[in-house]
């Protein structure tokens, strides 16, 4: 589904991604690990079109997307949940969610209503708070809202950046239950996360990044691969 080949990305003179290649199949969850500043978030932003690569290619189902704008990439079914969530603080929960409909132009009112009901079924907290402004939500609820907004846009590839940072364990458990549901529904997920234990529990495969390159890759079911992961990122 997703094919990244020899991607290079620069911030000014800083060479952040240095020839990184990665692929993902439908319904696969891939954990992306590494220390701060190694290029994990840059990778997600580049796939989402927030950053343009200096060279290399990114394709979805064989269609090149690395030259497209972020809104065109979103309409291809790629949803980005950034670390800072990017919800609209003065809009209500429901208004934030309905912005996700922009990713699926041409959807009927009945289809939109059904999509909203499905999201509320997965996120009952959001249904309870649907009339509240986004700024009144807790950190965990804002994270749920950010994830729900890309799901309501029918995203089939989700890029999720540090979903558990600063959240209570009970909220983290709820978020990871949703990620498991995404996987069961056939959605592909690239998951950047510092909480390696939680991420490995839902991942099929993982990669470790150092200095803009993948230095280790393995399967989450392999104990030896996980041990090498810890050594690769020096935890």
pLDDT of residue 234: 66
Instruction: Report whether pLDDT(170) > 70.
Output: yes
Segment 29-35 mean pLDDT = 94
In words, the CATH class of domain 2-232 is: alpha beta
H-helix segments, the chain: 40-48, 70-74, 93-98, 109-122, 124-128, 139-152, 169-184, 196-202, 223-232
Rounded to an integer, the average pLDDT of 82-102 is 88
> Where is pLDDT greater, at 154 or 187?
187
CA end-to-end distance (rounded Å), the chain: 31
CA 81 to CA 191: how far, in whole Å?
Answer: 10
Q: Length of the chain in residues, anyone?
A: 235
Q: Is 159 exposed, middle or buried (0-12, 13-18, 19+ CB in 10 A)?
A: buried
Q: How many CB atoms lie within 10 A of CB 89?
A: 11
State pLDDT tens for residues 115-147.
899 889 888 989 999 999 999 998 889 988 998
Residue whose pair of structure tokens reads 């069961």 in the numeric block = 184
Confidence class for position 70, pLDDT limits 50, 70, 90: very high
What is the structure's pLDDT at 67?
92
Quote the strand ranges of 71-187, DSSP E: 78-81, 157-161
The domain segmentation of the chain, as residue ranges, is: 2-232
The pLDDT of residue 44 is above 90 = yes
């Amino acid at each position: 589904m997703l094919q990244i080949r020899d991607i290079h990305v620069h911030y000014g003179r800083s060479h952040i991604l240095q020839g990184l290649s990665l692929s993902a199949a439908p319904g696969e969850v891939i954990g992306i690990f590494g220390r701060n500043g190694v290029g994990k978030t840059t990778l997600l932003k580049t796939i989402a079109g927030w950053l343009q690569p200096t060279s290399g290619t990114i394709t979805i189902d064989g269609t090149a997307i690395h030259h497209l704008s972020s809104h065109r990439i979103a309409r291809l079914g790629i949803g980005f949940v950034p670390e800072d969530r990017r919800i609209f603080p003065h809009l209500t929960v429901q208004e934030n969610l309905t912005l996700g409909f922009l990713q699926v132009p041409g959807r009927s009112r009945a289809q939109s209503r059904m999509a909203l009901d499905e999201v509320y079924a997965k996120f009952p907290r959001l249904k309870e708070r649907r009339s509240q402004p986004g700024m009144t939500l807790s950190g965990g609820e804002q994270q749920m809202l950010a994830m729900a907004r890309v799901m309501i846009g029918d995203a089939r590839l989700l890029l999720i950046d540090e979903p558990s940072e600063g959240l209570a364990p009970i909220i983290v458990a709820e978020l990871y239950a949703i990620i498991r549901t995404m996987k069961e529904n056939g959605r592909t997920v690239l998951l950047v996360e510092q909480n390696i234990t939680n991420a490995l529990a839902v991942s099929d495969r993982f990669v470790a990044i150092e200095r803009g390159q993948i230095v280790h890759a393995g399967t989450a079911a392999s104990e030896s691969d996980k041990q090498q992961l810890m050594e690769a990122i020096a935890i």
